[in-house]
């Protein structure tokens, strides 16, 4: 039972996702909170960010296909990652 004094967390929508190509399924899905007014593409980008930072996605080969549950419907979305160059000194005089 929710107390009337508690602030509702209706500002965010919880979506679940998994990687079907690697045997992922709804029972072992990851979860991420998103803005309920987000488009499927925006939610897919949030899912990719969550996977990249929280679930070893930086070690994965991209693009990656995700199955994302939004309002009970499963959306199969493929997301790619942009490569941002990083520079480091290997030698100097």
The reply to whether 87 falls in a domain is no
pLDDT band at 3 (very low <50, low <70, confident <90, very high): very low
Is residue 43 in a domain?
Answer: yes
| pLDDT given at position 7 | 39
Q: Which two tokens stand for residue 75?
A: 């959306």
**Residues constituting the chain:** 93
Task: Record the pTM.
Answer: 0.76
User: Which residues pair with residue 68 across a beta bridge?
Assistant: 17, 75
Please check whether residue 2 lies inside any domain of the structure.
Answer: no
C-alpha to C-alpha distance for 15 and 74, rounded to whole angstroms: 10
Does some domain include residue 92? no
Across the range 52-78, mean pLDDT stands at: 93
The percent of residues above 90 in pLDDT, for the chain, comes to: 56
The answer to whether the bond into 63 is cis (omega within 30° of 0) is yes
- Residue 4, in any domain of the structure: no
63 has a pLDDT exceeding 50: yes
pLDDT category of residue 86 using cuts at 50, 70 and 90: confident
Strand locations in 19-63, DSSP E? Answer: 30-34
Structural domain contains residue 20: yes
Q: 35 is written with which tokens?
A: 């803005």
Tell me which residue range forms the domain holding 40: 13-79
Number of domains into which the chain is organized: 1
CA atoms within 13 A on the CB side of 64: 26
Q: How far apart are CA 17 and CA 39, in angstroms?
A: 15
């Amino acid at each position: 039972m929710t107390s009337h004094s508690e602030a509702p967390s209706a500002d965010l929508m919880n979506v679940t996702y998994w990687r079907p190509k690697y045997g992922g399924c709804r029972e072992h899905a990851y979860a991420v909170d998103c803005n309920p007014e987000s488009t499927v593409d925006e939610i897919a980008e949030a899912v990719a960010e969550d996977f990249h930072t929280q679930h070893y996605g930086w070690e994965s080969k991209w693009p990656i296909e995700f199955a994302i549950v939004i309002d009970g419907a499963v959306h199969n979305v493929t997301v790619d990652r942009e490569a941002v160059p990083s520079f480091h000194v290997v030698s100097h005089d």
